[in-house]
Structure 1
Amino acid sequence: MNGFASNIDAKALGKVAVLMGGRSAEREVSLMSGQGVLEALLSRGVDAHAFDPAERHLDELLKEGFARCFIALHGRYGEDGTVQGALELLGIPYTGPGVMASSIAVDKIMTKRIWRFEGLPTPDWRLVSNAEQTRTAFEALGAPMIVKPAREGSSIGMAKVMSAEECEAAYALASKYDPEVLCEQFIAGDETTCAVLGEGVSARALPVIRIVAPEGNYDYQNKYFTDTTQYHCPCGLPEGEEAEIQRLVERAFRTLGCRGWSRADIMIRASDRKPFLLEINTSPGMTSHSLVPMSARAAGISYEALCLGLVAGASLDGVRKSQ
């Protein structure tokens, strides 16, 4: 992918809004992502401007003559199809997957249902709506069990349950963020992530990253605010394993109808080295700790080129513009 973002005329992209901040629980991370993207686009000569939907109405995008948007929003009201739908109505092309793919992918339960139907491997799970159902799920799935909100990211509201006594507190934490709570079988093994760029049959996976977090706890703090988590890219996995993960992630990306870019999280079960899809992020982080820029660098794509290529590929559902 060394030619990614080559021969792009920055001036021809017009006025670009970098949507950042927003109203989700991931606002802080989104502001960091957006600032990085904004600086990268400006460095490449793009007429880019910060735009926070929590502080300004989206119709101002049209009034102020923005030609396209880079969505650096994370979580609800930015990664769930709502902003995508608004931009469709405004007729302003945007980065990343469209309305349907975004709304499905942000919902971990719907995503897992589709992947399971398509024969893609994902850990067993239960949807629960109270503490008693969480305990019942624990009896079925066993320990450890992951409990998390169905529609949040960055490990917000997530807990690892080791005993039935911990179920009530885990449910209470997750349900603060979403009335629908996912209980998921824990897969012990290597934690990896893999990004995809492109669209349809031309979409291609970037190099796999293997994550080694302190005590195996890759939580919100260890994702964004510590330097103790180790990221291995090249991943150090056998070549065949990495290729299998890349093929799996490309299938997962296409199955949900994604376009532009996304990043999937995968666990490799230690006992038999089988990969399992956990979730897919349709507006991945772009902070200094983020993983897509790291993987892109390993593929010969700089952070600035990544941002430029993504915004140049901004589009609307059913409309594809070549740059």
Structure 2
Amino acid sequence: MKPADVGIAVMVAVIWGLAFVASRIALDELPPELMTALRFGIAALPCLFLPKPRQVSWLLLIGISFTLFLGQFLAQSVAIAHGVPVGLTSVIVQSQALFTIGLAALLFGELPSRMQAIGIAIAAIGLLMICGTVGYDFSVTAFAILMISPISFAVGNLLLRPAQGAPMFDLFAWLCLCAALPLFLLSLLTLGPQPTWQALSHLSPRGIISMLFVGAISTSIAYWLWGRLLRDHPAAQVVPFALLVPFVGSAASSIVFGETFGPLRLAGMITVVGGIAVMLLSRRPRTLPKKPLPEVV
């Protein structure tokens, strides 16, 4: 990778790490479903000028949007709003690498390499260590909701494969639109039209800046840049930069919110990131040989 591309990859990872902090700030003024809807509503504005990618059917577009975006980020927002620390959230979300490899093995026969299997085991141990800290500063229910995020993220990663030929910026804008519309509808149903409007109209300058950062920069621009890097370089060179995200998110949360980590939780977080590093830096998985179809007599 060229130095400029390395700089872009690091910048995207930093933006995504800081987005966890910005989301927490926005959630002080907005309920989770409305904050997530506004996030994607802002990121979907380019749809006013961009046509839907012809390479992607509506069914596939909705499937990717509901998993990669709606499911992942709504679960994050609900969990953070119910007390899950931002730094811990940034680590748990990155465990999507574990679930992506596992689901790829189950659904597509992509057997993980020996090093990937070791990485999965390490990350799983780290998650179990984190589970041992649940119930003290946040509830088991909140943690269970948070675990929906990496699983949904993993499913979205696999659904995204058939859409790789589509223009990235156009694709992600339309994915955001498909997520924003049902989320705004959910907000109207759960909160009511009047409280929804009041929450939006009474956003403070701090809340507006946070939403613009999360929607326009973190969701729209950063995903577009990341997609371009994946288009121009092998995934093995690009994806490891995502390991910076939990470190940035945890450090920023510690500075902004004074988040602290007990010994067991900190050890679990480091173990999860270490396991993810082993998975991402190992060789590509092997694919099971296809079984021959039985002869028709």
Same fold (TM over 0.5): no
Determine which structure has the larger helix proportion and give its number. Answer: 2
Q: Given the two structures, how large is their TM-score scaled by the length of structure 1?
A: 0.24
Determine which structure has the larger strand proportion and give its number. Answer: 1
**Higher RCO (C-alpha under 8 Å, 6+ residues apart):** 2
Q: Given the two structures, how large is their TM-score scaled by the length of structure 2?
A: 0.25
